[in-house]
Amino acid sequence: MASAQGRLGQHLQAVLDVVLRVPSIFIIDAIFNSYSDPGTGWTGTAGRALIRALGILVSSVVLVLSQKSLFKFYTLFAAVLLGAASVLINYYGTSHIDFYSTYNRAALGLGLLQLILGLGYVLLLNVPSLCAALLVLDVMLPLWGLMLELPAHVRQALALASGAILATHATVNLLWKLKWFYYSCRYVYLLLRHMYRIYGLQLLLEDTWKRIRFPDILRVFWLTRMTAQAVILVYVVRVVRSESGLQLGWDLFWDLTSNLIISGCDSMLTVLGMSAVISSLAHYLGLSILAFIGSTEEEDKRLGFVAPVLFFILALQTGLSGLDPEERLIRLSRNMCLLLTAILHFIHGMTDPVLMSLSASHVSSVRRHVPVLLVSLVLFALPVLLSYVLWHHYVLNTWLFAVTAFCVELCLKVLVSLTVYALFMIDGFYNVLWEKLDDYVYYVRSTGNVVEFVFGVIMFGNGAYTMMFESGSKIRACMMCLHAYFNIYLQAKNGWKTFINRRTAVKKINSLPEVKGTRLREIEDVCAICYQEFAASARITPCHHYFHALCLRKWLYIQDTCPMCHQRVYIEDDGHERTAFSNNNGYAAPGQERAEFEGEEGGADVGGAAGGAEPENELLEDNDSIEYDEEEWGTQPGVTLVEEEYINDDTDSN
């Protein structure tokens, strides 16, 4: 119970912390959007610029205050507001109300309100009891003069004296708190400088971003602003309907919605607020899809970060907030289409590992396969539907070409994933080693990667055309450079590296001896990688270990050593003698060692023991383990000491 109350208290503090920082964003947004008249001379312009800069500075300082300092600041601010309200009420009461007139009830109500304001003022400033009583008396004194029917000039003098006393007390109190404010600002400055010197600017910004909950502040700011504008628009529509009998139809509803959307991105802060709202929506969308397909990957939870960053970059790239209202609505809808395709691409990146995991691990539960297959089908159908709708409502231009290219690329990715998924499922259904499976998967994925690379080059050309002939900007140029590096250069480099590694592995595999037929059955062993029997053939490494060609090739993609003894698998023939091993469990096929190494070893008995004349075809038990120390290894008869270079290679690989 106590822990639940503690968590509730923490949540309430977090909500209050966010709410108290939102007014600073409103003030900064109003200052940036305020109109400046250039016809008032340089003094007026300089004065307005100074006031605007001071307002932005104070709002920014309040925005980044610590939670304790923020609460204290708003406590002082609320006390000043209560004092100012009490002064205004005294002035109004002494100037406009006659106690024995029909407004006597209003005078009594003002007296009660003044009492509440005075008590709130002294409580917020934590004034001592004696001084608090005098301040409350000072606040009530002008209304008491009204009740005592004092002359008008006396009542006005009492109101003026009461206001002066209250203003003096508030000023002295604020000046006394100014010392605290100075030390608080100095502490924050020293802390920020210390963090900057130790962790750098990036970590400093990230820490401040998280500490003040800036995304939540932007969401509350944008939603509050949109709600206020919606209320104003609805009120205006109701007034117009009552005066002119205007009927509320779909056209009027669309106009209202369009005006709201246009005003929701008319400044840089509103664009940031819309990005924060998109971040929240994308985050919960990603979590829902992950829960639906049964994925637990932490990297797939980044949709709430990728979507708003992309939206904000598109807004900067197209200058969204600086466009005319009608053009802004069109550009926003186009950016949303591009953002939708990017989100679909990210969702495919979430579903593809799950598809591969289910198919490669041969999961038989239909309930595990249906959700991810359903999401894949939706990812294939949505781009087709989007392209169909856009092509029927817009003429061909660079934007439509880009959206269509992204949709086609996404459909191709889905087809590649489903094809690879089907290949793995077929392999698991027959329960027989399919040696060509790796080749087929490679061919399918390579085809998809090549087409994706071609689309990347085409999109680079489309962006270059847009920058040169339509809307060029520095941000667009930077984005094109990033696209050329990540989506063209790195993709081509990685694809070529994969091709070279694969070709090298195939070359190494083809250079190894292959065992088939009777000799394969005499081995009576399994592949040390997949633990399956040798059905058709096996490859023999120079250290005389047996593997499936497919398994060994996959291993050679990673490293060029034997999985059993970590000696090099592919070594150019340099005339040095190699250590003769038996099979994976220490078994030598009959006649095999003699046939392959008799001439090389000079007829030495590989399996012989020191001082013994044991039979040549003696079989070692499966559980036997023959191990020698490094010094003893060179003393065993019939075994040639491996050169120091070969040993060093072995230890390096370990």
Distance CA 413, CA 419 (A): 10
Distance CA 165, CA 127 (A): 15
Q: Which residue has the higher pLDDT, 381 or 4?
A: 381
What is the mean pLDDT of the segment spanning 158-165?
88
pLDDT tens digits, residue range 522-579?
Answer: 777 788 888 778 877 888 888 888 888 888 887 877 777 888 888 887 765 444 444 4
Distance CA 484, CA 453 (A): 11
137 alpha-carbon distance from chain centroid: 58
pLDDT tens digits, residue range 61-120?
Answer: 889 888 888 888 899 899 999 999 988 888 877 776 554 444 455 566 777 888 888 899
Check if the beta carbon of residue 620 is closer than 8 Å to that of residue 586. Answer: yes
Q: Order of strands across the sheet with 514-516?
A: 514-516, 537-540, 546-547
Distance CA 559, CA 571 (A): 13
Q: Which residue has the higher pLDDT, 289 or 587?
A: 289
Instruction: Supply the mean pLDDT for the chain.
Output: 80
pLDDT tens digits, residue range 291-302?
Answer: 999 887 776 678
Distance CA 320, CA 615 (A): 87
The whole-model pTM stands at 0.75
Output the pLDDT for position 111: 75
Q: Is 514 helix (H, G, I), strand (E, B) or coil?
A: strand
Q: Which residue has the higher pLDDT, 625 or 413?
A: 413
pLDDT tens digits, residue range 602-613?
Answer: 433 333 333 333
Residue 172 has pLDDT above 70, yes or no: yes
Q: Is 605 helix (H, G, I), strand (E, B) or coil?
A: coil
Long-range Cβ pairs for the range 324-327 (8 Å, 24+): 325/262
Rounded to a whole number of angstroms, the CA Rg of the chain reads 40
Distance CA 349, CA 303 (A): 11
Domain edges within the chain: 65-212, 216-434, 512-557
Residue 282 has pLDDT above 80, yes or no: yes
Question: Which helix (H) or strand (E) covers residue 540, if one does?
Answer: strand 537-540
Distance CA 453, CA 346 (A): 17
Residue 618 has pLDDT above 70, yes or no: no
pLDDT tens digits, residue range 307-317?
Answer: 999 999 999 98
Which CATH superfamily groups domain 512-557? Answer: Zinc/RING finger domain, C3HC4 (zinc finger) (3.30.40.10)
Residue 595 has pLDDT above 60, yes or no: no
